[in-house]
Structure 1
C-alpha cells in the first residue's frame, strides 16, 4: 500500500514537472524510490533568464545568461526549420556559436540541467533570443559618375539589410545616408571640390528592433566634382575681390609717385581723402568718370575673365601714368546696357 502511494505520488510529481517543461527519465530505468528522488531534484532546476548575445564577427555569436543555482550545466539550442535543435552543452554561462553564415538572423534558447543518478534532468527553456551575424566587408566601391554638385557611388551586392554611406567632413567620418540598393548619389556638393567616401553593410536583428550589426568599412574612394559652367555669386565676389586687390596694387605705385589736386589747391592721395575733402558730396555712385570699360564674363571659365581684366587694367594704368586715378569695379551697373551677358564695368575715377 505504501509503495502504491509512493508510486502514485511520483506519478503526480512527474506529471506536474512535465507540465513545467522539465524532462523526467523513463520509469523502467530505475526503481520507484529513484524516480521520486529524481522528480524532486528536477523540480528544483531553475529556468534560464537574462539570455543575451554579442556578435563577434560575420560567422560567430557569443551567447551569455544568468547563472541558475544548483545547475550542473546548460544546453544551447538554435532554431532551424521551425524546430530548436541542440547545439551543445557547457558548464559556464556563455557559449560561442561558430561557423554561421554572414548577415543572417538566428534564434536561440538555453535551458539548465542537473545530473541526477547519472541522468540529465532539465529545467524550463529560456525565452527566445533573436540576433544576427555581421555582414562581410563591402567590396567594389567606386565612383561611377561625377557632376558639378553630385557624386554617384556604386559597389558589389552582398547579404545585408542596407548599406550606410559615410563622408569625410573636416577630418571626421560622418554617416550621410543609407540605401538597400548598390548605388547612392551624394548631392548638394560644391563644384570643383575634392571629397572622400566609404561604406559598410548593416544587418538588423529583426524588422521590429533597431539593433544593428555592421560589416567592416570598405576602402576609401576620392572624387572631385566638376567645375560649374555657371557663375555663382560667390564666384563674382571672389573675382571682384581679386581684381580690386590687383587694382589697388597698381594704384599704390601711382600714389607713391604722383599727387593729385582737387582744383582748389588741396592735395589728396586716395579716393577716401577726396570724398572727405568734397564733404561727402562725391561718391563712386555720383562721381564723374572720364572713361568706362566693360568686359564679358566667360561663363565656362571665370579665370579667363579675370586674366582679361588684369590685362585691361595694366593697359589703362599705363595709359594714365601721368595722372592719379582710382579704379572702381562693379557688375554692370544700372544705366550701362552695353552687354546682355554678365559683365564688369571699370570706371576710371578722377
Structure 2
C-alpha cells in the first residue's frame, strides 16, 4: 500500500516535469532520490565540540558545549551499563542533568541534529566527557582521643574517594591531610594547646587530575592536647625568662649602681637597658660562672627544677652581691663531659 502511494506521487511529479524538458526519473527511483537528499542534509550536521561540565551539587551536573552551525537542536546521552542512553533534547548549548546519586562518576556525549521533513537527522557524537557529582556533607566528626602531641579524629562513612582534613592555623583553615578511612590522627602538636578541625569529602572523576568534587564542610570540633609529662623546650624557654626576671629582681646592688658597671663607655637611661645588654652579650665563652647545672631531658617536674635554680641564684648573690647573674641555657642532645646523656645545661653567668 505504501509503495503504491509512493509510485502515484512519482507519476504526478513526472507529469509536472514533462513540460519542462527535464529528465524524469522512473517512479521507483523517486523514493531513492528523496532519501539521498536526507543523507546530504545529515552530512552537513557538524560534530559537537567543546563539551565541558560544572558540578552544581551532589545531584546535579550542568553540561555545556560549542554551538553547531545550522543545528536544530542537541540530544544528550549518559552512559549506563556500558551503553549511552538518551537523557533528552535541548535547543541551546547547555543541559542540566538532575536527580543523580551523590559522589558518582558519570560519562556523557552530545550530538547535534537537524529536522529534515519532520525527522531528526544527526551529526557525529561528541567526544565523551566524564565528571562526578559532589559527595554529601560529612557527619559525625568527633575527637576520639587526645595525647600530649596528637589528636585522633573519626567520623561517619559516606560515599567518596577520600576525606580531606583541615586545621584552623592562625585564623585560616588549611588542609593538613587526607585519608580513605574514617579516622585520622593529627600529629606533632604542642602539649596543653587548643586546636580546631573540620573535614569534607572529596570525589575524583575519571580524569584523575585536579578535577576534584567536594562536599560541604563538616561541623567544627575543638580539642585540647594533654599537658606533657616531660619538660619540653617551650618549658625551658619560659623557665629561662622567669629565672632571668627573678635574678634581675635580686640584683639590688646592680640596680642601685648600674652606671658604674658600664665597661663599654655606654650610658644607660635605665637599669633594664643594662640588664638587656648583659643578657644579649654574655656567653659561657666570655663570662665567668661557678658551676653548670644539668636538667636531663627525661625530667618531669619543671616546678622543682625552677625552685632549685632560684635557690642557686639566691646563694650566688649572697656570695657575690656586686654582680648580676645572667641565665644561659644550652641544649646538649649528646650530653656533656659531666653528664652522659641528652640534657639542658644551665649557666649562671656574671
For the aligned pair, the TM-score class normalised by the smaller chain equals 0.7 to 0.9
Question: Counterpart in 1 of 2:180?
Answer: 180
Of residues 273, 278, 288 in structure 2, which corresponds to 1:284?
Answer: 288
Q: Classify the secondary structure of the residue corresponding to 2:237.
A: helix
Distance 1:343-1:45 versus aligned 2 partners, 3 A rule: closer
- Alpha-carbon contact 2:130-2:207 (below 8 Å) kept: no
Q: For residues 44 and 74 of structure 2, what CA distance do their matches in structure 1 show? A: 15
TM-score (norm 2): 0.72
In 1: Cα distance, 2:125 partner to 2:346 partner: 86
1:233-253 per-residue CA deviation (whole Å, 9 max, x = no partner) reads 4432331231021111121x3
Residue pair 1:140, 1:155 contacting (<8 A) in 2 also: yes
User: Which residue does the alignment assign to 1:139?
Assistant: 139
Counterpart for residue 244 of structure 2: 244
Per the TM alignment, residue 299 of structure 1 is displaced from its structure 2 partner at its CA by 3.6
Q: Report SS of the residue matched to 1:76.
A: strand
Counterpart-to-counterpart distance in 2, 1:43 and 1:348:
95
Q: Please give the secondary structure, in 1, of the residue aligned with 2:38.
A: helix
Aligned position for 2:302: 302
Alpha carbons of structure 1 residues 100 and 236: separation in structure 2 relative to 1, 3 Å? same
Q: Closer, same or farther in 2 for the Cα pair 1:271/1:39, shift >3 Å?
A: closer
- State the 1:87 CA deviation: 0.7
Contact 1:148/1:227, CA 8 A, preserved across alignment: yes
Give 2:171's aligned residue: 171
Equivalent residue, structure 2, for 1:115? 115
Q: Is the 8 A contact 2:288 2:349 kept in 1?
A: no
Note closer, same or farther for the CA distance 1:255–1:93 as it changes in structure 2 (3 Å cut): same
Conserved 8 A contact 2:328-2:349:
no
Q: Secondary structure at the match of 2:236?
A: helix
The residue number in structure 2 matching 1:266 is none
Is there any run of 5+ residues in structure 2 with no aligned partner, and where? Answer: 1-22, 262-270, 277-285
| Match of residue 226 from structure 1 | 226
Compute the RMSD of aligned alpha carbons.
3.9
Q: What's the TM-score once normalised by structure 1's chain length? A: 0.72
Residue 59 of structure 1 corresponds to: 59
1:203 match: 203
Conservation of the 8 A alpha-carbon contact between 1:46 and 1:69: yes
- The separation in 1 between residues aligned to 2:349 and 2:165, in whole angstroms, is 54
Q: Does structure 2 retain, via aligned residues, the 8 Å contact 1:329–1:344?
A: no
What's the CA shift string for 1:263-306, capped at 9, x where partnerless? Answer: xxxxxx9999xxxxxxxxx9423xxx6xx897988943424543
Q: Tell me what 2:44 maps to.
A: 44
